Structure 1
Amino acid sequence: MLPNKDFKGKEYYDYLTGLPNRYYLYDYYRCKNCHLTVAFLDFDNFKYINDSYGHSFGDDVLIKISDILVKMVKNRGKVFRFGGDEFIILFDCKKDEAFKIIENIIERFNYCFKVGNREVLTTVSVGVYISSAGENIDDIIRKADMSMFEAKKLGKSNYVVFNKEMEDTMLKKANMMVDIKRALLEEEFYILYQPIYDLKEGKIKEVEALARWKSEKYGDVPPSVFVPILEETGLIREFGIFVIEGVFNDIKRWMEEDINIKVNINVSPLQLRDDAFFLLFDNLLSKYKVPSSLIGIEFTETQILNIQEQKINKINEFLKRGMKISLDDFGVGYSSLINMINFPISTIKIDKSLIDRIDDKNGSALIKGILYISKEMNYEVVAEGVETKEQVEILKRWGCNKIQGYYISGPKTFEEIKEFIGKKGGWK
């Protein structure tokens, strides 16, 4: 029997809003068991309301949201409180009408509404799934929920309709999370080094450490695929220490053969959240007896934006240890110029996408501008992705300090670097 307000069991209703809850939702869907437009709503940044005004006021906001949703949906569907600031709507109307209501809901919550004496703003992200008769309700909710998170990725206050590709990507990522952990244990990750050539001295004075994954299951997996998963899962801390220790060990082995070359390591801001990071870092420096002058630290522009003000002090910890900091992929992120002022960097690495446009009028003007500003601010500049002799000659004429790219060399193993440094006039 379909539960309703006359049903004695309170377990079918949300204690706060009075809306039907997930138990009601499951029974309601079983009774319908047909094509439905399902919307999964999550209210954006609701935590700020609770943190700013308290959970009691947050509850009042949820009650107000519930009233607004019920009034907007009317008899064209049913609103359920799924939990927290999440709601589900099962629409009984035609699909086009359901989408119109969803759009109106999103638009309504783009504006403030009053709760008590306060004006409140909380936008809403919506995932939409069109169910078929006989589908399992858990699968329906999972797919609508998945779509909602995609809407949040697009900038919130939006809706996304589920598609199979989305599910395949999510499943692949879930499987890859497990495979990455296994790869760490089975040492499938390894480190390569790409030389950086000093144009003034005509020497290779440093290299950049690049992590690579040779997977039995996936083959060669690029960092653009596995690094975001490492960061999402928190495995970046374990992975980061693995890379740092591998680099320190290689530096020690090079030093034993009278090769003293600086290695630049990319550090994720998520690693700096770990209070034990610098303790582990210092222990590894001591273990391998690596001079801090042979270590450089790189952050990308995107990473810099993710470093909150309190973590700038942690960045300064590298400086205290005598290490210099580079801003990588410069020119493709946001707030590039302000980053040059606010963060304690000593080197700018111009992204390959700009170097590729060195013959273009606007591209060349931008590169020359970066070189001029960097010189005025006493920063060194490394041009990344240099692939032709013509690019080298232009950059040298414009006063670029160093170059990195396939014109000099691609990434190389420890042994290859040892041989390459000898050939190119490094230190021996």
Structure 2
Amino acid sequence: MLTLITFVGRKSSAMLSFRGPESALWGTLQKRFAVQRNVLSDPDFELRSELGLLQTYFEAFDSTVAALLDTSKQDMLEALQILAEASKSSAACLYLNTPDNQVSHLTSAWRSPETRLADFTPDPCRSLDYSSYPLLADTLAVGMMLSKSLLELPLAEQMLMAQIGVRQLLCIPLLEKGEPFGFLCFLNDAEIQRSRSELRLLAMLSNHVAQALVKKRVEQELLCNQQRLRALVGVLQDMVFECNQQSVIVSVWSGHPDLPSAEMLQGRAIISVLPYELASELVHYLPRILQNKETAQFNCTVQTINGPVYLLVRLQPVQAPNGQNHAVALVHDVTALMLEDAQRKTMLDTLNLLEEAVIDLAPTGELVRTTPAWAKLRGLDVREMAKDLGQPLFAWVHSGDGMLMVEALSKILKTTEPVSQRFRLVQGSGEYLWVEARLIAHRSPDGLLSAIRGVLRDVTVSHLNEQHITQLALYDTLTKLPNRLMLDSEIHSAIDRARIQNTKVALGFIDLDHFKQINDAFGHQVGDELLVNVARQLESVLRENDVIARWGGDEFVVLIPDLNDLNVMRELSERLKNAARKGVTINGMETQPTISLGFAVFPDNAESGEELLSAADHTMYHAKHTGRNNVCFYSDIVHLKALGREHVAIQSRLSTAIRNQRLQVFYQPVVDARTGEVLMVEALARWQDEQSGWISPELFIPMAEKVGLIQELSELVIEQSFIKLREWRDAGLKQRLMINISRSQLFQPQFVTQLNEKLMQHRLRAEDVVLEITESVALTDYSRQLRHLRQLNASGFEIAIDDFGTGYSSLSQLHEMPAQIIKIDVSFALRLHTEDGRRIMQAIVQLGLGLGLEIIVEGVENLETARFLQGLGVQCMQGFYFSEPVPSGVAELWMRLGLQAKI
């Protein structure tokens, strides 16, 4: 049998009215008890059992009142026991719902010691998921009680109850404002019958339990909120209190260390316990608050042992539970804010004294605040500064520096560090001065940009001084064009941009034709004026972003960056050539100079700035050798294209190889034409590149001369060959060493001295060494070279004229030269298969012998040539027929054994 009773609180029910926690229940029970007593006076009325039931529940209620009002865990357990015993239940349980009312948890339970029910506190009874028990959920949800025997329950509820031995189930909802928040559950291990009156009494008691639980929860929440408020006030070091119409403090929370504590203030009059400065202000404002229900706010300063405390007080009217008007005061300590404000004002006064302008920019770049120094930078009166506020900083940045500032602001947004940028600030008059800005981004706690702050300083004077120093360091003093240092920076910047933008860079080497003749004929002053005029004319035809620099002497370099079309380079080259040919009048003399111009392109012809310079230089020399007043392009030169980029790359690696002494010295024997004995060995540089293998000396020696490394190369050969010669001397070998001397070495004033020092260092004599000098070198600046050669000869060195026959020396010059040996150039030996070649060789040999010179013929390739030269009376021969240049170990073997088999 299912009994349903609707609870108070639902709109659909008016069966029970239960208002207070005690009075309503008392009244209801008393009335029913009186009715029952009257009914019992009739002997025919059969309700004696109901009277007994009422007495039982009345006694149960009387026993549980205190427990219900306290509702501690132990007291609730005691109340459940009393209710279970009164209702003759084997057990009683209290279930409370989760906030979403989907699950109900067992909160307290009592089980009779005599019952046959199993322990139901573990799962699954500990937590009931309403979705698994729809009958229970639906019944309680509508505020009705569920009373059923085991067999009347649905299968899910039946299985749950059967596990613990339940035969009869009674569930009564606990309601708050008509909504269930839990239920009381009465369990029996045997079926029992409960009357409707008993169920009504249980429903009333359950309603009382619900109200007691709600009251206790509200009290706990109120206590928790009070504790939180006290904690909050304590953290803030503020004070909050409520006072009545007699100015007595009725409740208080105080966490301020310099104000009275809550214990001192509670129940005391304001004027007697609060500091006088605060109390007098409160007494002044409280009547208006209490009578007119207005709000008020005031500031006051309280003197404490720790110094003055600045307070901000807010007053708000509230209604007390008794209906009277009370006032709530929030006393907030603003001492830190006041001190901070004072410091800020002091800081602003200090900033106003600075010559640097301090600025605040909005996130969008507008000027928000600044100091009086801004007016000085802008050339304004201080009173005119206001018109600049709200304007973007870019409004006063010189147009030529706009991109610099954009880049600077971009950096600011990406970093937390200050960023410095120098730019031109436009003044009110339209003139500008140089300022240095140091800016930093300020962000809100959530990371968003809130402001940009910075300092602007006038650096016009220092900037101009730096420019002057830069001019001296980066510009040619004669032509005012960029020098090599600045050009190198411009080339690398242009190449970096080209890599990013996928564009090209063209580089042109320019050489002024016949400049030496002009300099020699008219003097250096005229030559300098010519260079200045030509530089100006070349610069006049360039585009805005093009650069022309003076490379040195009569050479210039033009840089054409950001190229998309190579026709621009070709057109510009013609304009340069035509510009140079414009007439130049110097000291009344008109001249029309011409130039030789060679262009190379990145990345088509080179992969780096160094390679690009080298390629353009080679191209310019090709243009010069093909007739001067000429323009050549690297891509149009067949033989340079054949060399390709590997040629340029080799030149780049050569410098490293020489400086790191990675070149080796090989030795080629010079043999006695009659006996085959090795008389001398010529020291020759050889280079095995790590990437390209053995590099021909015909390639790397001209490279070394071109890039200015020939002297270092020569010194390397001298050092290594002197070391080897010392070893050979110690081993008893007597052959002499032949060493090639470069033009740069011969022109050095200290060369003779340094060479002698090298000999002494290795314990060698000048007679051990033969110095080879090409005929063309010997004839360059003949008088000067003659002097150096005589000094070397006087030191004991024998001089050999190398490549003889190619330099067009006259007989008188040959006679004057302090040379003991001539080495006939290999080109003559290679022509001995012709009649003319044999006659020329015979004439040169007779000339040398007639001058008393020792003769060495280079380039002997076969036995036939050797036999012919023997017949002419040649003393020495050298060539691949005898031996190619070989490492020192093989050369030593030839020196010991000789090459007689070749004669």
2:871 corresponds to which residue?
Answer: 397
Q: Choose the corresponding residue for 1:173, options 625, 633, 651.
A: 651
Residues 271 and 80 from structure 1, CA distance in 2 versus in 1: closer, same or farther, beyond 3 angstroms? Answer: same
TM superposition shift of 1:356: 1.8
Matched, 1:124 2:592: no
Matched, 1:334 2:807: yes
Q: Per the alignment, in what secondary structure is the counterpart of residue 119 of structure 1?
A: strand
Aligned pairs (5 A) from 1:226-305:
226-305=700-779
Q: Per the alignment, in what secondary structure is the counterpart of residue 210 of structure 1?
A: strand
1:162 corresponds to which residue?
Answer: 634
1:61 corresponds to which residue?
Answer: 533
TM superposition shift of 1:160: 1.0
Task: Check whether the contact 2:599–2:619 (CA below 8 A) recurs between aligned residues.
Answer: no
Residues 148 and 205 from structure 1, CA distance in 2 versus in 1: closer, same or farther, beyond 3 angstroms? Answer: closer
2:619 corresponds to which residue?
Answer: 150
**Inter-partner Cα distance in structure 2 for 1:86 and 1:418:** 49
**Inter-partner Cα distance in structure 1 for 2:689 and 2:862:** 32
TM superposition shift of 1:403: 0.8
Q: Which amino acid aligns with 1:227?
A: I
**Inter-partner Cα distance in structure 2 for 1:213 and 1:144:** 23
TM superposition shift of 1:116: 5.5
Q: Per the alignment, in what secondary structure is the counterpart of residue 688 of structure 2?
A: strand
Residues 350 and 110 from structure 1, CA distance in 2 versus in 1: closer, same or farther, beyond 3 angstroms? Answer: farther
Residues 145 and 415 from structure 1, CA distance in 2 versus in 1: closer, same or farther, beyond 3 angstroms? Answer: closer
Q: Which amino acid aligns with 2:898?
A: K
**Inter-partner Cα distance in structure 2 for 1:318 and 1:17:** 41
Matched, 1:44 2:531: no
Q: Per the alignment, in what secondary structure is the counterpart of residue 299 of structure 1?
A: strand
Q: Which amino acid aligns with 1:316?
A: R
Residues 171 and 257 from structure 1, CA distance in 2 versus in 1: closer, same or farther, beyond 3 angstroms? Answer: closer
For residues 112-143 of structure 1, the C-alpha deviation after alignment (integer angstroms, 9 at most, x for no partner) is 643451223432122346899xx9xx999996
Task: Check whether the contact 2:655–2:709 (CA below 8 A) recurs between aligned residues.
Answer: no
**Inter-partner Cα distance in structure 1 for 2:597 and 2:794:** 47
2:883 corresponds to which residue?
Answer: 409
TM superposition shift of 1:418: 3.3
Task: Check whether the contact 1:41–1:124 (CA below 8 A) recurs between aligned residues.
Answer: no
TM superposition shift of 1:392: 1.3
Residues 100 and 361 from structure 1, CA distance in 2 versus in 1: closer, same or farther, beyond 3 angstroms? Answer: farther
Task: Check whether the contact 1:196–1:205 (CA below 8 A) recurs between aligned residues.
Answer: yes
Aligned pairs (5 A) from 1:179-198:
179-182=657-660, 184=661, 188-198=662-672
Q: Per the alignment, in what secondary structure is the counterpart of residue 225 of structure 1?
A: helix
**Inter-partner Cα distance in structure 2 for 1:227 and 1:393:** 32
**Inter-partner Cα distance in structure 2 for 1:37 and 1:425:** 57
TM superposition shift of 1:159: 0.7
TM superposition shift of 1:104: 8.2
Task: Check whether the contact 1:64–1:115 (CA below 8 A) recurs between aligned residues.
Answer: no
TM-score (normalised: structure 1): 0.73
**Inter-partner Cα distance in structure 1 for 2:887 and 2:502:** 59
For residues 204-223 of structure 1, the C-alpha deviation after alignment (integer angstroms, 9 at most, x for no partner) is 22221222223333322222
Task: Check whether the contact 1:197–1:204 (CA below 8 A) recurs between aligned residues.
Answer: yes
Q: Per the alignment, in what secondary structure is the counterpart of residue 412 of structure 1?
A: coil
Q: Choose the corresponding residue for 1:209, options 680, 683, 688.
A: 683
**Count of residue correspondences:** 401
**Inter-partner Cα distance in structure 1 for 2:866 and 2:531:** 63
Residues 103 and 345 from structure 1, CA distance in 2 versus in 1: closer, same or farther, beyond 3 angstroms? Answer: farther
Residues 81 and 121 from structure 1, CA distance in 2 versus in 1: closer, same or farther, beyond 3 angstroms? Answer: farther
Q: Which amino acid aligns with 1:151?
A: M
1:82 corresponds to which residue?
Answer: 548
2:585 corresponds to which residue?
Answer: 114
TM superposition shift of 1:402: 1.1
**Inter-partner Cα distance in structure 1 for 2:858 and 2:611:** 43
Q: Choose the corresponding residue for 2:819, options 345, 362, 365.
A: 345
TM superposition shift of 1:350: 1.6
Residues 303 and 218 from structure 1, CA distance in 2 versus in 1: closer, same or farther, beyond 3 angstroms? Answer: farther
Q: Choose the corresponding residue for 2:893, options 402, 407, 419.
A: 419
1:5 corresponds to which residue?
Answer: none
Residues 178 and 329 from structure 1, CA distance in 2 versus in 1: closer, same or farther, beyond 3 angstroms? Answer: same
Identical aligned residues as a percent: 21
Task: Check whether the contact 1:127–1:145 (CA below 8 A) recurs between aligned residues.
Answer: no
2:184 corresponds to which residue?
Answer: none
Task: Check whether the contact 1:151–1:157 (CA below 8 A) recurs between aligned residues.
Answer: no
Q: Choose the corresponding residue for 1:320, options 794, 798, 816.
A: 794
**Inter-partner Cα distance in structure 1 for 2:684 and 2:557:** 41
Alpha carbon RMSD of aligned pairs, Å?
Answer: 4.8
**Inter-partner Cα distance in structure 2 for 1:17 and 1:322:** 48
Q: Per the alignment, in what secondary structure is the counterpart of residue 667 of structure 2?
A: strand
Q: Which amino acid aligns with 2:654?
A: M
TM superposition shift of 1:64: 7.0
Q: Per the alignment, in what secondary structure is the counterpart of residue 753 of structure 2?
A: helix
Residues 224 and 342 from structure 1, CA distance in 2 versus in 1: closer, same or farther, beyond 3 angstroms? Answer: farther
For residues 226-275 of structure 1, the C-alpha deviation after alignment (integer angstroms, 9 at most, x for no partner) is 32333334433333233223222222222223221111111112123444
**Structure 2, unpaired ranges of 5+:** 1-398, 401-430, 433-466, 468-474, 482-486, 488-492, 551-555, 636-640
**Inter-partner Cα distance in structure 2 for 1:292 and 1:59:** 46
Q: Choose the corresponding residue for 1:220, options 672, 694, 698.
A: 694
**Structure 1, unpaired ranges of 5+:** 3-7
Q: Per the alignment, in what secondary structure is the counterpart of residue 177 of structure 1?
A: helix
Larger relative contact order, structure 1 or 2 (CA cutoff 8 Å, min sep 6) = 1
Task: Check whether the contact 1:40–1:141 (CA below 8 A) recurs between aligned residues.
Answer: no
**Inter-partner Cα distance in structure 2 for 1:328 and 1:368:** 18
Residues 103 and 83 from structure 1, CA distance in 2 versus in 1: closer, same or farther, beyond 3 angstroms? Answer: closer
For residues 74-105 of structure 1, the C-alpha deviation after alignment (integer angstroms, 9 at most, x for no partner) is xxx88966244556789x9x999996895686
Task: Check whether the contact 1:297–1:325 (CA below 8 A) recurs between aligned residues.
Answer: yes
Q: Per the alignment, in what secondary structure is the counterpart of residue 678 of structure 2?
A: strand
**Inter-partner Cα distance in structure 2 for 1:343 and 1:232:** 27
For residues 307-328 of structure 1, the C-alpha deviation after alignment (integer angstroms, 9 at most, x for no partner) is 6642432222220111111111
**Inter-partner Cα distance in structure 2 for 1:131 and 1:195:** 45
Matched, 1:378 2:852: yes
Task: Name whichever of 284-293 and 336-345 sits farther off.
Answer: 336-345
Task: Check whether the contact 1:207–1:261 (CA below 8 A) recurs between aligned residues.
Answer: yes
TM superposition shift of 1:145: 9.0
Q: Which amino acid aligns with 2:630?
A: N
**Inter-partner Cα distance in structure 2 for 1:387 and 1:102:** 47
**Inter-partner Cα distance in structure 1 for 2:885 and 2:876:** 16
Task: Check whether the contact 1:301–1:327 (CA below 8 A) recurs between aligned residues.
Answer: yes
2:361 corresponds to which residue?
Answer: none
Task: Name whichever of 360-369 and 278-287 sits farther off.
Answer: 278-287
TM-score (normalised: structure 2): 0.38
